[in-house]
């Protein structure tokens, strides 16, 4: 899928979107953060950047706090 990013639409909704749909109301902050980042890239509103790691780290910390 990474090679599809410069070309336009990806399979993001078919894979990650489907997993989030299955998760429903369950907390899945890391999956939602990754999905959100790549959705913004796909829509042309965000360029790949190492600063994403901070956003994903926050989501990972939220995931850790949920698991105990």
DSSP run (H or E) holding 54: helix 52-67
* pLDDT recorded at residue 11: 84
- Confidence (pTM): 0.68
* pLDDT recorded at residue 22: 93
> Tens digit of pLDDT for each residue in 38-51?
888 888 877 778 88
Contact 29, 63 (CB under 8 A): yes
3-class SS of residue 14 = helix
User: Hey, where are the domains in the chain?
Assistant: 2-67
């Amino acid at each position: 899928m990474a090679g599809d990013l410069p070309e336009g639409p990806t399979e993001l909704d078919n894979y990650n979107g489907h997993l989030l749909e299955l998760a429903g109301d369950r907390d899945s902050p890391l999956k939602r953060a990754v999905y959100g980042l790549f959705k913004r890239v796909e829509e042309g509103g965000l360029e790949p950047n190492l600063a994403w790691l901070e956003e994903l780290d926050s989501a990972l910390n939220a995931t850790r706090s949920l698991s105990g």
